[in-house]
Amino acid sequence: MADDLKKGLEGVLVAESGLSSIDGDAGRLIYRGYSIEDLARGTSYEEVLYLLWHGELPTADELESFAAALSEEREVHDDVLDAMERLAAADERPMAALRTAVSMFSAYEPENDADPEDLEATMRKGRRITAKIPTALAAFERYRLGEEPVDPHPDLGLAANFLYMLTGEEPSDVHAETFDQALILHADHGLNASTFTSMVIGSTMADIYSAVTGGISALSGPLHGGANQDVMEVLMEIDESNLDPLDWVEQATDEGRRIPGFGHRVYNVKDPRAKILQERSKELAESGNSKWYDITTTIEEYLSQEKGLAEKGIAPNVDFYSGSVYYQLGIPIDMYTPIFAMSRAGGWVGHVLEYQEDNRLIRPLSRYTGPEDQEFVPVEER
């Protein structure tokens, strides 16, 4: 029957997971039972990785050991750096460069011969991937600027180390904390397209490198991972227009333009992650330039109140504020989606590990709509 078809699998329950849960009506997101607000304000990205992979928050000793193991895996092979340099010279897109880097990591994996059902080995591989992605991304950006990569800093956490490798300077505490918080907010988010892609690949018992590479590929699509870049481009357009932000958004909406960063497939109220990043944006504004915070809040107030989008269940999502936050941290606009992948890799690894504990090959059905009973004609008679 036609009504059995669920395009995009919308509303179809295909798996169970203990990693994260979303209440779109209440605007609530939890990881392993902990609210995103508590995690973002009280933990580090390393703690959240441990939580997603092990099912519980680490003790101080466990966190120290886990963070040290991650730090030890940050170095990437010279061949990967050479590939990043060539791709930068070829003006490759950052997400495509990242996809290549993660696939190359596999060539230097010391446990390549591990049994696919050895989930402890899979977790160790996932740890190596998560640790190396920031190094490869930062190197790619440095090469694009005509500069040499910066070696990882052994005494910095994952978030601060990425900013250090990107700029060559240790970030301020505010910048490091802000970026760490952004990584926490993006680490997992239910069964989204890239997570589902990773799970499908994992269900075949392919290795975790394949699953993460697939996740990156899915995230690269503009319907999934690129909205924060779109938001920042709009903010820059407003800034360069010399119009008052309110006048600009009024004119844009009158012309029928859609403002990116509003609306979500799951949330019917303001994304809880957007609320947290709005706070960070305000904090960054207070210590520097308030322009971007002023523009975003003006747009939000106008669309939510004057245009009544809030009443229609269309509210700011995480991308609406993450774009300007990244910009204030000095991160290039086309690196926003790769940074999303850098964070979400932890979620992809966690979901693959969880699914493979009770694995079943994901194999949905499709309805054939092509012709029937075609008469075959040999090629010489066609």
Q: What is the pLDDT of residues 40-54, one digit of tens each?
A: 999 999 999 999 999
* Contact (CB, 8 A) for 219 and 95: yes
CATH fold group of domain 227-328: Cytochrome p450-Terp; domain 2 (1.10.230)
Confirm or reject CATH 3.40.50.880 for domain 28-214+335-356, answering yes or no: no
* Domain boundaries along the sequence of the chain: 28-214+335-356, 227-328
Question: Quick one: what percent of the chain has pLDDT higher than 70?
Answer: 99
pLDDT band for position 228 (cuts 50, 70, 90): confident
* Contact (CB, 8 A) for 83 and 99: no
Summary mean pLDDT of the chain: 94
Q: Looking at the whole model, is its pTM more than 0.85?
A: yes
Residue with tokens 């849960």, as numbered in its chain: 21
Distance CA 297, CA 277 (A): 12
Gyration radius (Cα) of the chain, Å: 22
Q: Measure Cα distances from 222 to 119, 130, 242, 269, 337 in Å.
A: 32, 23, 28, 22, 10
Distance CA 379, CA 382 (A): 5
Backbone torsions φ then ψ of 155, nearest 5 degrees: -100, 5
- Tokens linked to 128: 């190596």
* Contact (CB, 8 A) for 281 and 321: yes
Distance CA 38, CA 327 (A): 25
Whether residue 340 is predicted with pLDDT greater than 50 in this model: the reply is: yes
Per-residue pLDDT tens over the stretch 363-374: 999 999 999 999
Residue with tokens 């696919």, as numbered in its chain: 116
Residues marked active site are found at: 264, 319
Instruction: Output the pLDDT for position 264.
Output: 85
Per-residue pLDDT tens over the stretch 262-321: 888 889 899 999 999 999 999 998 887 789 999 999 999 999 887 888 778 888 999 899
